[in-house]
Structure 1
């Protein structure tokens, strides 16, 4: 069995590749499933366990510091990718596993951010796996969804639901509302947003029927992306 940080002195930096990253991200996911991650990050024992698992699978020694440093690098990479993807005119190509954007739009962006060139020329086949681990809003979402909601959260959801209902009634009274019966429930199922933000998004989507239909057609993760984009747009209008 390969040795790890608990039994060896500090090792030199590791040159990671795609295969190693795949094993690494899978090991982190195992630790999440075992409850070894908190809102503040992974527990120290989790880093040791990941280092041991990666060492065993790849038959190469990895230390706790190797694991921590790689996670920090992947988080930086993911957040940069995600910030670009969420810009207007940009997207993600699921087939090619790279940023999708019109050539002219990309060139205009790179004139302002030449240091980001590498993010357009490289493919990221582990993007979804990175998202599950590195995105502070999405990570652990699947595990959290399996837990029962505490009374305080249920009360807050009730307040948000009531507020949205009042807004919906006001919109309906104008006689200009479209038929979007699932919109309220779709918004309530999204965690991590303030009551006021959800109400603003509800009002906005009711006034933009095509975007509302697009929102309802998305899966949960993509709805969060779109909701963020809408809220940024609304903030810019203030």
Structure 2
């Protein structure tokens, strides 16, 4: 898609191809902001957003824009949610998370039964989830409700 500038020139829509290193830096920046209490009720504060643009930009020498990170956050959350909801974290009977292989694992017959019931599960049989533990920390509480749910600010203060 192209857009027309004020001077009449056309240019291609700006897009960014994400790498593993970029995800690493962004996720670490999000964790830092969450730990600093800058994620309230599942939403990062405006200061956190500014910091999350600046931190990875400096460490990777890439000029990120807020929209780049906003779009990537949406994608990361969506992928995490698909996996998390399917396996209910990893509390679905017969499944477990292996942090070494970065896979959700189960015996073949357990996988086959789930895939028969939910076709979308098949891709997770061999798809590595590079930052599952970190995304669990960042996003699982957003998916929780009730008494066990707490904000990062409450957790930091120890008042949850």
Smaller-chain TM-score range?
0.7 to 0.9
The residue aligned with 2:9 is none
Q: TM-score under structure 2 normalisation? A: 0.73
Deviation of 1:12 after TM superposition, in Å, equals 2.5
Deviation of 1:100 after TM superposition, in Å, equals 0.9
The residue aligned with 2:134 is 129
Once the two structures are superposed, residues 109-167 of structure 1 have per-residue CA deviations (whole angstroms, 9 ceiling, x without a partner) of: 22333233222212223211111112124997776344253xxxxxxxxxxxxxxxxxx
Q: Secondary structure at the match of 2:157?
A: coil
CA change 1:93–1:65 in 2 (3 A) is: same
RMSD: 2.5
The answer as to 2:14 corresponding to 1:12 is yes
- Structure with the bigger RCO (C-alpha within 8 Å, sep 6+) is 2
Structure 1 residue ranges without an equivalent (≥5): 1-10, 150-190, 192-238
The answer as to 2:70 corresponding to 1:73 is no
Deviation of 1:98 after TM superposition, in Å, equals 0.6
Q: Aligned residue pairs: how many?
A: 140
Task: Work out the CA distance in 1 between the residues paired with 2:14 and 2:135.
Answer: 24
CA change 1:61–1:146 in 2 (3 A) is: closer
Give yes or no for contact 1:36–1:43 (8 Å, CA) kept in 2. yes
CA change 1:148–1:49 in 2 (3 A) is: closer
Structure 1 residue ranges, 4+ long, deviating more than 3 angstroms after superposition: 137-146
Q: TM-score under structure 1 normalisation? A: 0.51
Give yes or no for contact 1:32–1:140 (8 Å, CA) kept in 2. no
Task: Work out the CA distance in 2 between the residues paired with 1:142 and 1:34.
Answer: 8
CA change 1:139–1:98 in 2 (3 A) is: farther
Larger radius of gyration: 1
